[in-house]
Structure 1
Amino acid sequence: MGGGKLHADEIDIDVSGVRRLIAAQFPQWSDLPLERIESAGTANAMFRLGGAMTVRLPRVEGAAGDVEKEHRWLPRLAPSLPVAVPVPLVKGMPDEDYPWPWAVYRWLDGETPVVGHIADPGLLAEDLAEFVAALRRIDPEDGPASYRSERLAARDATTRAAIGELRAVVDADAATAAWEAALNAPAWPGPAVWIHADLQPGNVLIADGRLSAVIDFGCLGLGDPAVDLIAAWYLLPPEARGVFRSALERDDAAWERGRGWALSIALDELRYYRETNPVMASIARRVIHAVLTGT
């Protein structure tokens, strides 16, 4: 199945292969137009089916479990959330050419935000805070651990290794100091709560300058609420970060952990994708700069 690869263990996925899967498993949709959606996303290949549906197929085995998780949890979480989230329609099955479950979702309108080109960042900050707060309030009973459920200390070795590897392109001393400050922040004292854990540009949609949808819940689960503070550096310019923080009433310790999460994730993304995914690498560079300089 084709397309540029982002991972060494990634399988080929192209329009003809997806069309064959649809014709075999959901023949009622076999005559609808199908086109690949160009995206900086790294875990799934996405295609628009007709005008009202999205087909999403995991690129690697590690993302295959997200299909079942989203089908189970998104319908339960959606009624408590203030913006749209993906609506799973059907779950496709693996076959002799494609090895994992895949899914068809309802199409969600909107555009991915670009920091510096958001009409009213303060309003977006308020919308993001409302989403994060609503998600956190949902009963965590039986929820799975988030993909990012570990404490920051568990990321220490890989984060320091990324700083060392990227020494030529980032301020290693400043990055190390920021990382150590985050490690020294008091840990989250409460129980784990629901977090999206990947609030960055490719995973949110805006319409008329407001948050209209949050998508790709592959990292969804229970964890430290500070993880969702990464939105401050991934999605907002400096003048709107205070709005976001105030709306969530985050204390200094949580903010420092959130800053550490943003730095660690961005360093890892830049290290991994700097040669294969220019969009993701550019976002990561901007986030690292924002964390280290406050701009």
Structure 2
Amino acid sequence: MTGPRAPRALETPMHEGQLTVAAETVRELVDAQFPEWRGLPVRRLAAQGTVNAIFRLGDRLTARFPLQPREVDAARRWLDSEAEAARELLGRTRFPTPEPVAVGAPGAGYPLPWSVQTWLPGVVATDQDPGDSFAFASDLAEFVADVRAIDPRGRTFEGGGRGGELHPHDGWLETCFQRSEALLDVPLLRRMWAVMRELPRGGSPDRMTHGDLIPGNVLVAEGRLAGVLDVGGLRAADPALDLVGAWHLLESGPRQALRQQLDCDDLDWERGRAWAFVQAMGVVWYYHRTNPAMSRMGRVTLARIVADPPAA
């Protein structure tokens, strides 16, 4: 993760009912539940993610606190599934990924379970743009291929979120179009979605995917891929899903190099573009005021999609 920066102010919550987590609360929870870490300093990170408040715990650990309220048992099941996914990915690629360490319990006024993972050094791609790097594109393609090579053990996409068919996202996209009237060229984007939503799945079976290859989840060092974060969403899905990274992270030349390295056919490539479109349309308006970096990422992705249309 990136080095020290001032945290983004929490006075403007990103989500309805968003939880707040102070460093003092983290200190109390750690000291009470993991006394072996009492001597480790606690420092909030200026993460640009949207799901967790993240704190550095000493030099080798991070503590992650979910921001959105949910039922305690459901939150625990989700954290356990995240840890299981992280363990499944660990060592399956040469690029570092976080290792689950522990799960904490509610307390000190914080109502949900929380998790501890290993710390990964590096700078998030939001702060060190690798978009023009062919070497980074090659690394990213290698990571996607490594994840796809994991045996799904009979698992298939279970529905919910991105990774199945495109047209079930019509309702969400309609909301995005309506909320984006003052922010984007909505008539153009509507026309693009009308084509994208019709893209068939083709013959590619579900394969394992990271599912969220956005700049804030990718670590960079000297123009190369240094690590990948937020691996808890590892699951079987449309193999085109991880091609979102080509649009979120790369400019035209490196993007085409990634496509060639992964040997993407036209249909998978266009579905990857469509999944990036779905994600970008959502973040532009949703985080316009509360997380400008995330909103800006969506604008950049949409600009790339518009500037590089499918071949006629």
Q: Under TM normalisation by the shorter chain, which class is it?
A: over 0.9
Could you tell me which amino acid in structure 2 is paired with residue 237 of structure 1?
Answer: E
Matched, 1:3 2:15: no
Q: Hey, what's the Cα distance between the residues in 2 that align with 1:109 and 1:213?
A: 8
> 2:144 is matched with which residue?
132
TM-score scaled by structure 1? 0.92
Q: Which residue of 1 aligns with 2:112?
A: 100
* Gap change, CA 1:228 and 1:142, over 3 Å in 2: same
Is the CA contact (8 Å cut-off) linking 1:196 and 1:219 kept in structure 2?
yes
- Aligned partner of 2:10: which letter? G
Q: SS of the residue aligned with 2:123?
A: coil
In the alignment, the residues of structure 1 paired with residue 187 and residue 57 of structure 2 have an alpha-carbon distance, to the nearest angstrom, of 48
Work out which of the residue numbers 38, 55, 59 in structure 2 matches 1:51: 59
Residue number in structure 2 paired with 1:27 = 35
Cα distance in 2 between the residues matched to 1:96 and 1:203: 29
- 1:238 and 2:246 aligned: no
- Matches of residues 1-295 of structure 1 in structure 2 within 5 Å? 3-4=10-11, 5-61=13-69, 64=75, 65-95=77-107, 97-114=109-126, 117-118=129-130, 121-141=133-153, 143=155, 145=157, 147-294=161-308
Q: 1:207 offset after TM fit, Å? A: 1.5
CA contact 1:3–1:14 (8 Å) conserved in 2: no
Structure 1 residue 167, shift from structure 2 partner: 2.1
What one-letter code is carried by the residue in structure 2 that aligns with 1:113?
A
Cα offset for 1:157?
Answer: 1.8
Quote the Cα distance in structure 2 between the aligned partners of 1:108 and 1:143. Answer: 29
> Using a 3 Å threshold, how does the CA distance of structure 1 residues 240 and 116 change in structure 2: closer, same or farther?
farther
For the 8 Å contact 2:205–2:239, the answer to whether it is kept is: no
> TM-score, normalised on structure 2?
0.88
Closer, same or farther: CA 96–143 of 1 in aligned 2, 3 Å: farther
1:27 and 1:275 map into 2 onto residues whose CA distance is 39
Q: What is the one-letter code of the residue matched to 2:197?
A: L
Letter in 1 for 2:224: R
How many residues are matched?
294
Identity %, equivalent residues: 36
